Structure 1
Amino acid sequence: MTTSPPEQPRPAPASPPPGCPAHGLYAATGLQQLHAPTAVENSNQLYEDLRKVHGSVAPVEVPGGVRAWLVLGYRENLEVLRTPSRFSADSRLWRDATTLSLEHPLAPLIAWQPLVNFAEGPDQRRLRGAVNGSLAKFNNIGVRRRIQYIANTLIDGFCQDGQADLVSQYTQQLPMLTMMRLLGVPEGTAPKLIAACQDLIAGTASAASSNQYVMQVLQDLVAARKTAADNDLPSFLIQHEAQLTDLEVAEHLRHTLVAAHTTTSVLLADTLHFYLTNATTRAQLAGGAQTLETSVDHILWDQPPLSVLPARYATGPTKLGDQDIEEGDMVLLGLAAGNRDPEVRPDPTASMHGNRSHLSFSGGGHECPGQDIGRAVVETAADVLLTRLPDLHASGEGQRVFTWLSHPLITLPVAFTRKAPLTADPVGASKTAPAANGPLPAAAAMPPVPARPPVSATRTRWWQRLFRR
């Protein structure tokens, strides 16, 4: 494998010099803060208010005092996504890139990394080809069978209780466990790595050390696959003709894990919540008038996993909607706002079942490459759960966390008739899996992964059964 030379930092356009009059975005006053409490809890109304005042593109402020353009129009979002010559994903083009510190709240989202998400031109096509080509090697039927097995194992962990919290016991764990299997993570490492990934995503005080641990595990995995390839994503990326560097492979593996948690788990929880709280949908699914696949499309229109997608950067002066965009301006993709644009959806309550022209998977050259696997996880996991527990019903109000980027469910309490587990050993995820929102176990503070203890031949842990499949 060849190693690419280190890429030189790309200079960012300078902000207006002190004392000189600012123009456009930097001259606007009284900007709406997208992260204000009243804004995040009433985001759909906020988007409509901004649309009335500014049209399809509005000046806003996000955490850290950063100014940006929020794209509200459906067609304008597609225009940004499909014209990288005008709006680049390379965050080094941002006019304030040189002021971004590691402590900045936007750093995890927009700090440049050797990922396809930040690449353009030949480098983007090289990385995109490697990711797409590697994901295409997985057999769809085989992937769904793995998801079914993981789903049944998780359900076995709580089916005898007659009640559960679907978020902590099901939706937050299943996507991550699926990706662990596709990445070929050793079984003894999986529980600890899941806890570290969840801690990293939560942004706790130990997130930095968790990130180091995640990267170390993935770099070790890459090194192992270079000498002994397997039928997994690291091996496919290493073998691809694009000749990714070891760092590029590890970074894309980490991004895959994070994306599986932050988008697929949110979509799965919203799908189950929609089913549990919508009597019409339940009746249509039971009567065959609707399928889970079409229901997922409706949810992707109404409640995309990411409401706002950071970010694109103007490569030069341009026009978008009614706004004059300056070189180096940050442009935020308003996926939720675009999905509700009255120009393409006059009646926001109308059914969108089966319509896949939503913006929830982005678009253009950076459209989500793992959307097929993500949909497979959601559709299969929901189908297995509703088949195993046909009288599943909500036993309380699901709680959400509202941020300017997303509105994920953090609890979804349900009740059902107690069922016997499918496996002979009903040791469940609810008892042995790392807590979804709990503190990171002390073992993940960076010491080497301990050797796996001997396991009884008659009793195995739930996560070990997953990897023996």
Structure 2
Amino acid sequence: MTTSPPEHPQPAVAAAPPPGCPAHGLYGQDLQQLHAPKAVENTRQLYEDLRATHGAVAPVEIPGGVRAWLVLGHRENLEVLRTPSRFSADSRLWRDSKVLSPEHPLAPLIAWQPLVNFAEGDDQRRLRGAVNDSLARFNSIGIRRRIQKIANTLIDGFCRDGHADLVAQYAQQLPMLTMMRLLGVPEGVAPKLIAACQDLIAGTATAAASNQFVMQVLQELVASRKDQPGDDLPSFLLQHESQLTDTEVAEHLRHTLVAAHTTTSVLLADTIEIYLTDSKTRAQLSGGTRTLEESVDHILWERPPLAVLPARYATGPTTLGEQTIEEGDMVLMGLAAGNADPHVRPDPTVSMLGNRSHLAFSGGGHECPGQNIGRAIVETACDVLLTRLPDVQVTGETQRVFTWMAHPLVSLPVEFTSKAPQSLVTPAVTPSSPPPSGPQPQMVPPPPTAPPVPVAARAPWWRRLWRR
């Protein structure tokens, strides 16, 4: 079962070329709308049709009447990603940026922000170094142990029921909860922060308010870590020699949470679905002829979490493929199309196991810095799930939402033999404990053994925020 993408308002007439712009290239021709319902429901055929008509680079239109170049070739995608002197990530170079109002559907994606994603040159190296070094301070074994604990806690929340939706109750929750732990977010705030992140990503009517709440929580978290550093990502970023500002730290923390939801949760859901619905994959994993790590790479080739990655901007007139790109043109990286490029995969039925040259994690100086953590989340979460519920099977219709950027799984109903939770004791609530999921036992507080706290005592910042 599929869900059609929401309709976006389109201009009554095609956008006119900016002043001084020649009437060719992105202008003066009819463009394929990537967000048209028929296009998003069969993107594989769409990419092949565009490839046959235009070659490795095709002119397209995306929501809001925005015109851009879609890169379809594997080599051409890497050319864009690896040459910032020709294709910059700085969206302030976009010649149509005047159409980018706060209400524009693309504003959250391409409006310039103080993030490494939009930086180039020395600034990009400064921010990238801080992010890479801070993530590298987490012990890989320790991260996997945290993931195991969170996965078991989530499974404990539904294992008695004998049925679950593994997207809503597992895949969408686990990556976010893992990153909450790495950020050192207090347990009392985590559930509401997760809900706010999911709301702002969905682009609902309350997305702006949710974004404001997320930034408020993260800004207060950063302020608290300046006074009391911990073994968490905000503390590591603040301590880095690159001297990030408080705003830069908070913005990168928000981006970390958004990336965990929009990419890692999608990859986790797809990995679980393929194991449960593809008998060949399940047999290979069960028989030891394929590892879980190899299966993840196979999915990254066939179904990258982001089919289209926005965006780069031409720093001057240049040529890409057989197309003439004008200065300021927007260029979109077609990650799924590049993975299916016949020049690198002449026979799409041939397995790409062991080959990691896919485009799923982007490339060049902006390659995903958290990909190792993402892999750890997916592999560990799948291993825990299949160990705890070995007879799990899909029992209903899976559902996907098809958009021009991605095709995330939104429902994966399953059944399994009902089991008792691993532990019926609620763990102590500490900043490093995973947020609880599902019904929790009611604990009777012990009688006070110490004098009451004076009224003038100041509550922790996160409790004050929660009360507001």
Q: 1:69 to 1:389 in 2, by over 3 A?
A: same
Give, in angstroms, the shift of residue 447 of structure 1: 11
In the alignment, what sits opposite 2:272? Answer: 272
* Kept after mapping to 2: 8 A contact 1:215/1:254: yes
Q: Distance in 2 between matches of 1:450 and 1:337?
A: 45
Q: Is the CA contact (8 Å cut-off) linking 1:295 and 1:354 kept in structure 2?
A: no
Correspondence for 2:465: 449
Equivalent-residue separation in structure 1 for 2:290 and 2:426 (angstroms): 33
Structure 1 position 15, deviation (Å): 5.5
SS in 2 for 1:216: helix
C-alpha deviation, 1:21, in angstroms:
4.8
Letter of the 1:450 partner, please give it.
W
> Paired residue for 2:413?
413
Q: For residue 359 of structure 1, give the secondary structure of its aligned residue in structure 2.
A: coil
Aligned runs of 1:179-190 on 2, under 5 Å? Answer: 179-190=179-190
In 2: Cα distance, 1:196 partner to 1:59 partner: 35
* Partner in structure 1 of residue 432 of structure 2: none
Offset of residue 351 of structure 1: 1.3
Report the Cα offset of residue 425 of structure 1. Answer: 3.9
| Counterpart amino acid of residue 42 in structure 2 | N
What CA distance in whole angstroms lies between the structure 2 residues aligned with 1:228 and 1:356? 41
Contact 1:15 1:96 in 2 (8 A): no
Q: Is the 8 A contact 1:92 1:112 kept in 2?
A: yes
CA distance in 2, matches of 1:448, 1:114: 28
Describe how 1:229-378 pairs up with structure 2 within 5 A. 229-378=229-378
Question: CA-to-partner distance for each residue in 1:103-149, whole Å, 9 max, x for gaps?
Answer: 11110000000000000000000000000000000000000000000
Q: Does 1:429 align with 2:429?
A: no
Q: Distance in 1 between matches of 2:266 and 2:438?
A: 19
Q: Secondary structure at the match of 2:26?
A: helix
1:17-416 to structure 2, matched below 5 A, reads 17=19, 21-27=22-28, 29-416=29-416
CA offset digits 1:259-302 (Å, max 9, x no partner): 00000000000000010111011111111111110000000000
Q: Could you list the per-position Cα deviations for residues 5-55 of structure 1 after superposition, in whole angstroms to 9, with x for gaps in the alignment? A: xxxxxxxxx95328x75232122x220000000000000110000000000
Q: Which moved more, 1:103-112 or 1:344-353?
A: 344-353
Q: Does the aligned pair in 2 maintain the 1:313–1:331 contact within 8 Å?
A: yes
State the alpha-carbon separation in 1 of the partners of residues 22 and 261 from structure 2: 44
TM-score (structure 2 length as normaliser) = 0.88
Offset of residue 160 of structure 1: 1.1
Structure 1 residue 81, shift from structure 2 partner: 0.3
Decide whether the 8 Å contact of 2:18 with 2:95 is kept in 1. Answer: no
Deviation at 1:429, TM superposition (A): 2.7
Say which SS state the counterpart of residue 466 (structure 2) adopts: coil
Structure 1 counterpart SS, 2:27: helix
The offset of 1:430, in angstroms, is 4.3
- Asked whether the 8 Å contact 1:298–1:353 carries over to 2, the reply is yes
Stretches of structure 2 that go unaligned for 5 or more consecutive residues are: 1-15, 428-435, 441-461
How well do the aligned residues superpose, as a CA RMSD in angstroms? 1.8
Mapped partners of 1:363, 1:309: distance in 2: 11
Helix, strand or coil: the match of 2:79? helix
Percentage identity across paired residues of the two chains: 78
User: Which TM-score applies when normalising by structure 1?
Assistant: 0.88
Deviation, 1:216, is: 0.5
How many residues were matched structurally?
Answer: 424
Could you say what secondary structure the match of 1:84 adopts? coil
Specify every segment of 5 or more residues in structure 1 that has no aligned partner in the other structure, as ranges. Answer: 1-13, 433-445, 453-469
* Counterpart in the other structure of 1:462: none
